[in-house]
Structure 1
Amino acid sequence: MAQNRFQSGSGPTQRQLRVGELIRRTLSDVLLRADVHDPDLNRHSITVGEVRTSPDLKVATAYVLPLGGHDAEDALVALRRNQAELRHLVAKAMSLKYAPQLRFVLDETFDRMDDTRRLLNDERVRRDVESDDDETDED
């Protein structure tokens, strides 16, 4: 019996990863060059951290964050308002059968990293980790 490669939890395919990275680089270049004719969008310096694509490559979700995290909601509104023009510019630079629909989401990776760092520096957690290390050394 053939196994469905799009089962939940199986992760993205190599093609999804490759296309997502190509979209990320292209979108970053478009935003860096300020190719979009919107002064509200062009006043933000936006980082595109990751792009995840759907299995059929028709939807691309871009995880974005303005420099320093300032005015994140304003930047997100500007990106969504210019979604059609950004889609056109990305599609023009790529050779895909379909131009993917772009969705924009705030990238919370840095916030999660800060939370993890804070948690790992907590005295109780460090004490637990050190006691686990001591037990491992005794074995």
Structure 2
Amino acid sequence: MKHSNDSKAAAGPSQRQLRVGEEIRHVLSDILMRTEFHDPLLAREHLTVSEVRMSPDLKHALVFATVLGQKDIRPLLPALKRVAPYLRAQMAPRLGLRVAPELKFVADEALDEATRINKLLHSPEVTRDLGPDKKD
């Protein structure tokens, strides 16, 4: 017999998780755009938050971030971890939640993956195989 919690987990995030995640994405994007960081690694970068996934209890936010200009964000992740408490404090009054979630930054690799697939699809081997049939 399935418990109701099992079916909820299988169904994906709730509407509330999606709504709060999107709200956090907007607030974080605004803070990152307007804030001058004292960290030299972050001070000169233009960061973008592409997605925020919330835990079911809304206490943890997984933040998918990229750097404009297709630079690798991985070297910046330790700096983002250091400023996460500051960002959380800046977000709290703007969110209207009882508790602002803990932030965990990860590299958003969706664009890299899309670029890799696009290159693969346009490679000579694939183009040859997808080309029109030629009967000899």
**Identical amino acids, percent of aligned pairs:** 45
For the residues of structure 2 that align with 1:129 and 1:11, how far apart are their CA atoms?
36
Alignment of 1:127-138 (within 5 A): none
> 1:25 — aligned with what?
26
- What RMSD in Å do the two structures reach over aligned CA positions? 2.4
CA deviation digits over 1:117-139, x for unaligned, max 9? 223334555676679xx9xxxxx
TM-score, length of structure 1 as denominator length: 0.79
Say if 1:115 and 1:70 are closer, same or farther in 2 by CA, change over 3 A.
closer
Structure 1 runs (4+) greater than 3 angstroms displaced: 35-40, 122-131
For the residues of structure 2 that align with 1:121 and 1:71, how far apart are their CA atoms?
23
Q: Contact 1:63/1:106 (CA < 8 Å) preserved in 2? A: yes
Q: Contact 2:32/2:47 (CA < 8 Å) preserved in 1? A: yes
Q: Residue 63 of structure 2: SS of its match in structure 1? A: strand
Q: CA deviation at 1:93?
A: 1.1
Q: Contact 2:58/2:101 (CA < 8 Å) preserved in 1? A: yes
For the residues of structure 1 that align with 2:92 and 2:123, how far apart are their CA atoms?
47
Say if 1:96 and 1:45 are closer, same or farther in 2 by CA, change over 3 A.
same
CA deviation digits over 1:74-117, x for unaligned, max 9? 32222111111001111121101211000000110101111222
For the residues of structure 2 that align with 1:125 and 1:40, how far apart are their CA atoms?
40
> 1:95 — aligned with what?
96
> 1:110 — aligned with what?
111
Unmatched 5+ residue regions in structure 1?
135-139
For the residues of structure 1 that align with 2:38 and 2:99, how far apart are their CA atoms?
24
After superposing the two structures, state which structure 1 stretch, 50-59 or 31-40, moved more.
31-40
Q: Contact 1:66/1:75 (CA < 8 Å) preserved in 2? A: no
Q: Residue 68 of structure 1: SS of its match in structure 2? A: coil
Equivalent residues, number: 131
Q: Contact 2:61/2:104 (CA < 8 Å) preserved in 1? A: yes
